[in-house]
Amino acid sequence: MNPNFQNNATAAESFRRLSQEPDEQEFWAGYVRGLRRNHHGEKFETEAEHSLWMSAADSSDQSRKMRGLGYRAGFEGQNVQAAMKTLVGHQHMSELGKRGGSSTSVRKSQSSAENGRLGGRPRKPDGEKNG
């Protein structure tokens, strides 16, 4: 049982209300629900509902995924500061994934053009992956 349940739930509700980002709002809503399950145990919801919320973090639907990630953080008993790190870490990794390979520096363009003139990137010896 989380001794700071009320403080964490109140802070999370404030973050949810103040956020302009729908993903953050979903995360904090899930977090509060997870905190409740952590605090009240099986009295709060059925095992089937709990399983559904836990699996939501693996969803391909972004808003459902964010609620699930928040629920897991709350259910694990993370305090609001740790939950913030979970949220920011997920957003950061997601943003890096979106930007990956999209660099357009002058040096990258020059290297790409030079490789193209030479027949493309040289092949690596057998057994090694191209990266």
pLDDT of residue 94: 56
pLDDT of residue 96: 46
Asked, for residue 114, whether it belongs to a domain, the answer is: no
pLDDT of residue 69: 93
| pLDDT surpasses 90 at 87 | no
Instruction: Pick 119 or 69 by higher pLDDT.
Output: 69
Instruction: Pick 120 or 21 by higher pLDDT.
Output: 21
Instruction: Please report, for residues 84, 91, 100, 106, 109, the alpha-carbon distance to residue 103 in angstroms, rounded to integers and kept in the order given.
Output: 28, 19, 8, 9, 9
pLDDT of residue 76: 93
The count of domains in the chain is 1
Is there a contact between 2 and 39 (Cβ–Cβ < 8 Å)?
yes
Asked, for residue 63, whether it belongs to a domain, the answer is: yes
Domain with 40 in it: 5-99
Average pLDDT of 98-110?
62
Q: What mean pLDDT is reported for the chain?
A: 82
| pLDDT surpasses 70 at 12 | yes
The percent of residues in the chain predicted with pLDDT above 70, rounded, is: 79
Is there a contact between 74 and 30 (Cβ–Cβ < 8 Å)?
yes
Asked, for residue 26, whether it belongs to a domain, the answer is: yes
Asked, for residue 120, whether it belongs to a domain, the answer is: no
Asked, for residue 95, whether it belongs to a domain, the answer is: yes
Average pLDDT of 77-95?
78
Average pLDDT of 11-30?
90
pLDDT of residue 75: 94
Asked, for residue 130, whether it belongs to a domain, the answer is: no
Asked, for residue 107, whether it belongs to a domain, the answer is: no
Is there a contact between 57 and 95 (Cβ–Cβ < 8 Å)?
no
Token pair of 82 as six digits: 């740790």
pTM: 0.66
Asked, for residue 86, whether it belongs to a domain, the answer is: yes
